[in-house]
A and B are shown apart, each in its own frame.
Chain A
Amino acid sequence: MSDIFEITFLSLQVSTVATLVSLLIGLPFGTWLALERFRGRSFLLSIINTGMALPPVVVGLVVAMTLWRSGVLGSLKLIYTPWAIIIAQTIISAPVVTGLTAAALEALDPRLQQQLLGLGASRPQMIWHLWREARLPLLAALMAGFGSVISEVGASMMVGGNIKGQTRVLTTAIVLETSKGEFEKALALSALLLTLTYLVNLALTSIQQKGARK
């Protein structure tokens, strides 16, 4: 039982940290992509949009090769630690948050920027109010970012190693139990994962809907 609690807590912990780091990267980067016009912008957007569909197992492979002892960042000794999973999950989630942030802001009336500046807004004030206007799709971006990492298994398995008590998360535990033929346990863990995902999204949806009524 304590095992399950530990696995569940670690799943939540790594996916939440990865989502928050993705938000710190994706919100400003997506905003910049939405507001600025420069050469190569369309190409950059197409790369981000492709990144939204990055296969977790490929991300896991690349991050693992980088963090292995012989890899470029091998000296950091992060492989098979929760930090390795956070790094891999951030790479999966950041393009999702970036792409959806850019799309949310581009959907606003472009004259809104001029109107805010015309009312005397500084650039940070303008950006803050654009985020406020797009708060519902921005929260959806956050939910999608979280959803993309809490449910992935390939990257967590490759960079975390599914080590009991250290890097085992719900998805890798489900794979393990299935491979052992323990389908009841696997199904119970799946139900737990779904419940957890539902509860986090329920919390975010209620914040979103509260924002819609404000």
Chain B
Amino acid sequence: MISINNLRVQRNGRDALKVTSLEIQKGETLAVVGPNGAGKSTLLLALAHLIKPVDGGITFHGKPLKDWDDIEYRRKIAFVFQDPLLMDMSVRDNIALGLKFRGVKKEDALERVIKWSKAMGVDSLLKRRAGQLSGGEAQRVSLARAFVLDPELLLMDEPFSAVDPQTRAQLLKDLSNVLAQDHRTTVFVTHNLKEAAKFGDRVAVIINGELKQVGAPEQIKTKPADESVKAFLEEL
């Protein structure tokens, strides 16, 4: 579904990410791991076409992202950031926001909002203001806001890094259940190898802005591609 070839992305005038080759199959969950500042988030932003590469490219369904209309492409994906970044409106309106952008009718939107707010355990909070939510609740709303769009590609950038460990464990469990039933193509960034192994059909390791290895979680653990991957795994 997605092919990345000789991708080079710069941020602030410096190379931030290089990926020689990476394929993401329909329905698979690719977990991306690496140290802080390695270029994991840059990969997601490039996949969302929110930053444009200086070289190489990404194709989606065989068509280069630069040839897609930005809005048409982004309405096929959904992005969950580290922080929930909710708007100053009710939980219901927050979850429905992407549907509103797509011009989905109010009744249809409400039906989908109710379905996904239940799946994420926030159905009792629909009338609350976003500012009244706890960190865990806000992140659940942010996940519901992404899933409600029924995206072909779901991009998640360490969505649980800002919540306490107990909430994080519960959120991981719930998300894991949803993804297990959903079989949605997902790229999930984390710096936790256990999380990566739990979620990912495959794991991609990015170190110093370079994709070093892609493979099954066990393969990454037992056969690290080089010394940098080995050192990273040992640090964990």
B45 A120 Cβ-Cβ under 8 A:
no
A interface secondary structure, majority: helix
B101 A114 Cβ-Cβ under 8 A:
no
A121 vs B101: C-alpha distance when bound (angstroms): 5
Interface status of B87 (Cβ within 8 A of chain A):
yes
Return the CB mask of A116-141 against B: 1 if under 8 Å, else 0.
01111110010001001100000000
A114 vs B74: C-alpha distance when bound (angstroms): 11
A119 B50 Cβ-Cβ under 8 A:
no
A122 vs B74: C-alpha distance when bound (angstroms): 10
Q: Nearest chain A CB to B140's CB is how many angstroms away? A: 16
Whether A119 touches B81, Cβ cut-off 8 Å, given contacts A114-B50, A133-B88, is no
Number of contact residues on B: which range applies?
20 to 34
- CB closest residue in chain B, given A134: B88
Residues of B with C-beta under 8 A to A114: 45, 48, 50, 79, 81
Interface status of A210 (Cβ within 8 A of chain B):
no
Interface status of A112 (Cβ within 8 A of chain B):
yes
B50 A117 Cβ-Cβ under 8 A:
yes
Whether A120 touches B83, Cβ cut-off 8 Å, given contacts A114-B45, A114-B50, A133-B88, is no
Whether A115 touches B101, Cβ cut-off 8 Å, given contacts A120-B71, A120-B149, is no
Residues of A with C-beta under 8 A to B75: 120
Number of contact residues on A: which range applies?
10 to 19
A118 B48 Cβ-Cβ under 8 A:
yes
Interface status of B97 (Cβ within 8 A of chain A):
yes
A120 B87 Cβ-Cβ under 8 A:
no
A109 vs B82: C-alpha distance when bound (angstroms): 13
Residues of B with C-beta under 8 A to A120: 71, 74-75, 98, 101-102, 149
Q: Which residues of B contact A (CB under 8 A)?
A: 45, 48, 50, 70-71, 74-75, 77-79, 81, 83, 85, 87-89, 97-98, 101-102, 145-146, 149, 155
